[in-house]
Amino acid sequence: MTKIPASVFIITLNEAQNIGRALQSVADFDQIVVVDSGSSDATLEIARGFTSDIFTQTWLGYSRQKALALSKCSHDWCLNIDADEVASPELIQEIRQTIADNNCDALSIQIDDIFLGRVNHPWIRRNAKPRFFRKNAGEYGDAVVHEGFKVSGKLARAQGAIRHYGERSIAIKVEKNNHYSSLRAEERHRKGKRFNLLKLLVAFPFAFFRSYILRRALLNGLPGFIGSVVNGFYAFLKEAKLYEVSRSDKDSN
């Protein structure tokens, strides 16, 4: 089968455990771009088995790092996946068809999380993000975490999915949430957001309810319940750390 006339870009840091699986899933693309921020494991060695378009860049933040990786892509159409993700065969075929049809500027692709060995139940409401797009159809914003490509053209919804293996255990999910909540609190503080006691009090129950009931994580059984509790605690941490950052700022003054 002919190569897909599009580029894939991936940012990495010590992803030896995951990167091979991710790159294998996009091996049919004409170009694969990897931008690494200083891996000390076998990430780059594994990546060299799939592509020669490998670049090193000191960490700039999620949005700027991905924008840099995108700038290294030579094709008009580009797909972004993370090193702990896999593009499904159905999505790959859909991408081929999207390029051939040429009737949209981007595909919003649902993300299937793998948590505690469980794939999301088909009826669970998944997050969907623009991950396949024309290079000039938008841009990355300035978010320090939960970055996204902001599409200015026509957006279509993909039927295929990207599978996310990055939160497969409780320990990994909690560790990531601890890191991300710190980044989000610092970002909100820089933008002038103030701590609100009411938000702190309702953050956990509201986020748990949204995850477990509204997004139907209850259909995932016990892993769905555990994941929703962790999601609720993540929401609480963001508010608590905003309080912490605000207080530290006042104390320093």
CATH for 4-164 is 3.90.550.10
Q: Where in the chain is the domain with CATH 3.90.550.10?
A: 4-164
pLDDT of residue 225: 96
Tens digit of pLDDT for each residue in 197-218? Answer: 999 999 999 999 999 999 999 9
pLDDT of residue 252: 63
User: What's the per-residue H, E or C state across the chain?
Assistant: CCCEEEEEEEEECCCCCCHHHHHHHCCCEEEEEEEECCCCCCHHHHHCCCCCEEEECCCCCHHHHHHHHHHCCCCCEEEECCCCEEECHHHHHHHHHHHHHCCCCEEEEEEEEEECCEECCCCCCCCEEEEEEECCCEEECCCCCCCCEEECCCEEEEEEEEEECCCCCHHHHHHHHHHHHHHHHHHHHHCCCCCCHHHHHHHHHHHHHHHHHHCCHHHHHHHHHHHHHHHHHHHHHHHHHHHHHHHHHHHHC
**pLDDT tens digit at each of 253 positions of the chain:** 799 999 999 999 999 999 999 999 999 999 999 999 999 999 999 999 999 999 999 999 899 999 999 999 999 999 999 999 999 999 999 999 999 999 999 999 999 988 888 777 777 777 899 999 999 999 998 776 767 899 998 999 999 999 999 888 899 999 999 999 999 999 899 989 999 999 999 999 999 999 999 999 999 999 999 999 999 999 999 999 999 999 876 666 5
pLDDT of residue 250: 66
pLDDT of residue 253: 57
pLDDT of residue 56: 97
